[in-house]
Amino acid sequence: MSAVQRVCLSCGRCCDGSIFTHANFKEHDYNNSDLINYFPEIKNQKLLSLPCRLFTSKCPVYNETRPQICQTFKCRVLHNIENGIYGEARAEELVAMLHNLVGEYRQKFEIFQNFDDNLSLSENHEALLNNKKVRKAVHVQLQFATLKFFIKKHFEKN
Amino acid sequence: MGNSVVLSLSTKIYKNKNIISNQIDGETVIMRIEENDYFQLDETGTYIWNIIDKPISVIEISDKIIEHFGISREQSENDMLNFINELSRKKIVITGD
């Protein structure tokens, strides 16, 4: 297994809804019968909602049939490993920081309401902001902003 | 101390207590609670942020930056005055003599 694959598998934040809310199915996916078994919505939807329902703490089908975008998408961290900008150790450090940021976010979030694991992190955040019983969850908002700045800087592609 | 934006090297600054912040990987995200907006500070901004809990003059901060980052006094003082002016204008820091 390559460094890119190891780091990708140790992260999983693209799949669990921490970074994205949806992924696009690609043309190739619509004719893939194995994939349609996992994601019957391919027949009538262009978007895969995240968190991915197959994902637990890791992608269980990483080396098997996955939507094309899951096979081809590389975040900036993976690009940087591939292009020799930094090594696996720095990538692991960034992934660990991301895990911590998400963990801290959830901790602060759950002071106010339960985190819905069927929704992405952004959708949960929006639900919190729309919760009229919550007056001003400033520390959750700051944590969300920190997470977004960190993702934008280190994980989103240029 | 007021919120003057006319700064000199002797001006003292400190953090506005209505600001909360978070640090990650050597950078800082700050939130203005009342305005509900956010700013990001780079490594130098974070260094300054970490030394302005109590009132400290611009020249004292500049001395620390010169020592820490090894840059020239002229560059440090110009950058500092611009940066602190911006923080002061946004009421992220309180300034006064």
**% of chain A exceeding 90 in pLDDT:** 71
Measured between beta carbons, which residues in chain B are less than 8 angstroms from residue A138?
Answer: 20, 31, 33
Q: Is the CB of A146 less than 8 angstroms away from the CB of B22?
A: yes
For chain B, the maximum distance between any two Cα atoms, rounded to a whole number of angstroms, is: 37
Instruction: Compute the nearest-CA separation of A56 from chain B (Å).
Output: 26
Domain that holds residue A70: 3-154
Determine the residue type at B71.
Answer: I
pLDDT digits (tens, 9 = 90+) for A67-97: 999 999 999 999 999 999 999 999 999 999 9
* ipTM, 2 dp: 0.84
CATH 3.90.930.60 describes domain B12-96: yes
Q: How many separate domains does chain A show?
A: 1
Mutate to test the interface with B, among A93, A142, A151, A153 (most CBs of B within 10 A): A142
pLDDT at B5 over 80: no
Residues in CB range of B77: below 8 A, 6 or more apart: B9, B58, B59, B62
Do residue B31 and residue A138 have CB atoms under 8 angstroms apart? yes
Pairing type for strands B37-41 and B27-32 reads: antiparallel
Q: Hey, how many other C-beta atoms are within 10 angstroms of the C-beta on B92?
A: 22
CA atoms of B45 and A121, how far apart (whole Å): 29
Domain spans in chain B, listed from the N-terminal domain onward:
12-96
Instruction: Judge contact between A16 and A51, C-beta under 8 A.
Output: yes
